[in-house]
Amino acid sequence: MVIKKFHNLLDDGKTLFFLGLSERVVSEFTSKEDQKLARYALYNCWEWLEYKSTSGDLLYDVLDNEETSITISLELADNETDIMAWNCIIDAVAFTSRMAFEKEGVKYYPEPISLVNDTLVEHFLECFNACVEHADSYINDIYLLLDKYNNGSIKRNLRDEVLIELQI
């Protein structure tokens, strides 16, 4: 049922779904440095979602560069919770990057981004459920928030609204 609802969302709603739930994941990291890097990655995604000002290339660079990428952080993770949390953040950034590239009219994506589609939500939810206690409650809450978003009743910063609604 959760996945069917996801598939019925518009692209911005799908992006909001990934980003909103990923905000909940950040507190699961055991390292403050990982939390900081995850917040930076998500911040760039929120910028794209709200203002369409961040490029697909920038988001991809956050995802996969040789020095400070979040995929490197995943490779260095040494416990299961951090691994699952990084997978959620990576899925959210990859999905947002794909949406940004599509909005820009890019014809050819970096290889990892070319693989991103709606089926990514299944992997995301598996990882989210593995690292967040009471995950179903957060998923239900994000759908309630998406209803508000779709009917235009969210008047302030999307990220702030998510943090308030999900009590993060």
Contacts of 67 (CB under 8 A, 6+ apart): none
For residue 124, give its domain range: 2-165
67 pLDDT higher than 80:
no
Q: How confident is the model at residue 105 (pLDDT cuts 50, 70, 90)?
A: very high
Q: Range with the lowest mean pLDDT among 16-20, 103-107, 163-167? A: 163-167
pLDDT for 73-104, tens place per residue?
Answer: 887 788 999 999 999 999 999 999 999 999 99
Q: Which of 7-11, 18-22, 136-140, 162-166 has the lowest mean pLDDT?
A: 162-166
Whether the per-residue pLDDT at 66 is higher than 80: the answer is no
- Angle formed by the axes of helices 32-51 and 11-25, to 10°? 160
How many CB atoms sit inside 10 A of residue 117's CB? 9
- Of the candidates 125, 121, 128, the one whose C-alpha atom is nearest the C-alpha of residue 25 is 128
Averaged pLDDT for residues 15-31: 96
Instruction: Count how many domains the chain has.
Output: 1
Q: What pLDDT does 156 receive? A: 65
- Give the CA diameter of the chain: 42
For residue 57, the model assigns a pLDDT of: 92
**Sign of torsion over alpha carbons 163, 99, 126, 66:** negative
**Total residue count of the chain as it appears in this document:** 168
Taking CA 135 as the corner, what is the angle to CA 30 and CA 117, rounded to the nearest 5 degrees?
Answer: 90
CA distance 138 to 21: 7
Asked if 48 and 96 count as a contact pair (C-beta separation under 8 A), the reply is: yes
Please tell me the predicted confidence (pLDDT) of residue 155: 61
Q: What is the pTM of this model?
A: 0.93
Average pLDDT, the chain: 90
